[in-house]
């Protein structure tokens, strides 16, 4: 399987759309049960946030470019500037995201690549100290 550009991608290697649906859905199940992290999401329904994150990750890993088509350039750091992201929030986010990765049962090399990206991205978004 190859992407729309004809290139074979990480997105393809890990199972494409269904894998990212499972990853993000499992992540938001964790968020929904974490009162401190859940409080950071202003929408009463986490569904729109779930769709946005899935589209972002799919695009990042070589899948459809739906995120950019609907929302413009991802600009990950810029989109998070209005929100206070502390080391504690980063760690809570990573706890749920890495637990979601655990559910995918990816081959070790793909698992490592995905975890490395998620950890680096989470660390890069910290923009405030813990109170």
* Domain locations in the chain as residue ranges: 10-124
Q: From 1.10.10.350, 1.20.144.10, 1.10.490.10, 3.10.180.10, which CATH number describes the 10-124 domain?
A: 1.10.490.10
For 42-101, how does the pLDDT look when each residue is reduced to its tens digit (9 = 90+)?
Answer: 778 899 999 999 999 999 999 999 988 777 666 665 555 567 889 999 999 999 999 999
Distance CA(104)–CA(73), nearest Å, equals 28
pLDDT value at position 40? 82
pLDDT beyond 80 at 2 = no
Distance CA(120)–CA(131), nearest Å, equals 23
Q: Phi then psi for 4, rounded to 5 degrees? A: -60, -25
Residue 126 corresponds to which tokens in the numbers above? 């910290």
pLDDT beyond 60 at 1 = no
Residue 69 corresponds to which tokens in the numbers above? 């088509």
Mean of pLDDT over the chain: 89
- Terminal Cα distance for the chain, rounded: 48
């Amino acid at each position: 399987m190859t992407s729309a550009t004809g290139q074979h991608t990480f997105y393809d290697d890990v199972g494409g759309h269904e894998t990212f649906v499972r990853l993000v859905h499992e992540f938001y199940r964790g968020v929904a049960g974490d009162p401190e992290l859940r409080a950071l999401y202003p929408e009463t329904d986490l569904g729109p946030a779930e769709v946005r994150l899935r589209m972002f990750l799919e695009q990042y890993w070589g899948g459809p470019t739906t995120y950019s088509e609907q929302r413009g350039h991802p600009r990950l750091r810029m989109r998070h500037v209005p929100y206070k992201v502390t080391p504690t929030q980063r760690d809570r986010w990573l706890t749920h995201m890495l637990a979601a990765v655990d559910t995918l049962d990816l081959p070790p090399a793909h698992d490592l690549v995905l975890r490395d990206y998620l950890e680096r991205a989470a660390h890069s978004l910290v923009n405030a100290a813990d109170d």
